[in-house]
Amino acid sequence: MANLISVVVTFRNEEEVLPILVDRVSKVFANMDDDYEIILIDDSSTDRSYQIIEELHGRNPRIKAVTTSRRFGVYACMMGGLQLASGACAVYLDCDLQDPPELIPQMLAAWRGGADVVNMHRTRRLGEGWFHVAVVKLAYRIIQSSSAVNIPVDVGDFKLYSRRALDHLVAMPERYPYIRGMAAWIGFNQTTLDYERLPRVAGESKRAGISKAAIRVFSNAILSFSGMPIYALGVAGAMALIAGVAVVVAALVSGADWRVGVFALAALTFAVSLLGNFVIGLYVYRIWQEMLRRPNFIVKGKLGL
């Protein structure tokens, strides 16, 4: 029996890539029995992206779109797009086509085989500098080792969700969603497929290097799925106390001025206290944001939805 498959894509200022993306996704489904919809979430683009979508929708009504009232960020838009997906399953795909849509049939085969979440594992990241790749790999491993759930390493947002997995995912009302962790947290039957991540087909990357967005994603992962910073502060405080006492004892034994040791202890304690206030402040800020209950984004206009 034919199913409706939702393909969700978020973007900002991708006028060069959008026609290529829609063409490649459409060709994938041209040889399949399943019907499809492409849900494009425009994060308040300032180029001709939305006009291009209107033209594409006029030629193919399966292409649907939402534009936001201002820039809200990729993960807020991703959650909004997944909430709009009405298919029997949904695939999230980056607009830059580094994650090839030609892999969708393999993902659907895994879903038909019983998988609720199909994770796409990056064996190689082509077209990216070695330093960027090294930093990303390290970040994945820090997140995985500190998380309370098993978040797969080298697995990005390119995933397939079954209907039941998707319903549980979008029911989470988080203001700072780390969707890779949330996908692991919901459980169900999960499988992993390997692939090579390709270079961007056109345009410029919006998330290259150690950017503000990358730091935000990393902090979301840690603050949403780990209490490690709090425990690390406890260890740092204990070590500072031990170090300060050791300095005082050493000063007394050696006949040195004991006030030097006291000053060292006070400096260490002050530094740990400042760091502790910062980390606790991050958690409190997140709690405050969650309590405000603001929507993840505001829709300015819809097309085909």
CATH number at 129 reads 3.90.550.10
User: What pLDDT does 200 receive?
Assistant: 63
Residue 258 lies inside a defined structural domain of this protein: yes
Domain end among 214, 236, 267: 214
Residue 219 lies inside a defined structural domain of this protein: no
Residue 149 lies inside a defined structural domain of this protein: yes
| pLDDT one-digit tens code per residue, 76-117 | 888 888 989 988 999 998 888 888 899 999 999 999 999 999
Q: How confident is the model at residue 165 (pLDDT cuts 50, 70, 90)?
A: very high
Domain end among 187, 214, 241: 214
Q: Are residues 131 and 192 in the same domain?
A: yes
| pLDDT one-digit tens code per residue, 246-286 | 766 776 676 666 566 667 667 767 776 777 777 777 777 77
pLDDT surpassing 90 at residue 305? no
| pLDDT one-digit tens code per residue, 7-59 | 999 888 888 889 989 999 999 998 888 888 999 999 888 888 888 888 888 88
**End-to-end Cα, the chain, rounded Å:** 24
| pLDDT one-digit tens code per residue, 213-241 | 666 666 666 666 666 776 676 777 777 66
pLDDT surpassing 80 at residue 193? yes
User: What pLDDT does 15 receive?
Assistant: 86
Q: Which amino acid is at 126?
A: L
User: What pLDDT does 202 receive?
Assistant: 61
User: What pLDDT does 198 receive?
Assistant: 76
Q: Are residues 205 and 233 in the same domain?
A: no
User: What pLDDT does 116 receive?
Assistant: 93
Number of domains in the chain: 2
Parent domain of 275: 228-292
Q: How confident is the model at residue 6 (pLDDT cuts 50, 70, 90)?
A: very high
DSSP letters, 30-42, are HTSSSEEEEEEEE
Q: Are residues 37 and 129 in the same domain?
A: yes
Q: Are residues 16 and 104 in the same domain?
A: yes
pLDDT surpassing 90 at residue 208? no
Burial class (CB in 10 A: 0-12, 13-18, 19+), 70: exposed
Q: Are residues 152 and 288 in the same domain?
A: no
Q: Are residues 131 and 71 in the same domain?
A: yes
Q: Are residues 197 and 260 in the same domain?
A: no
Q: CA-CA-CA-CA torsion for 284, 80, 220, 286, nearest 10 degrees?
A: 0
Tell me how far apart the alpha carbons of residues 83 and 80 are, in angstroms, rounded to a whole number.
5
User: What pLDDT does 153 receive?
Assistant: 77
Q: Are residues 19 and 66 in the same domain?
A: yes
Q: How many CB atoms lie within 10 A of CB 218?
A: 18
- pTM: predicted TM-score of the whole model, two decimal places: 0.74
Give the mean pLDDT of 119-124. 84
User: What pLDDT does 9 receive?
Assistant: 92
Q: CA-CA-CA-CA torsion for 119, 124, 135, 223, nearest 10 degrees?
A: 0
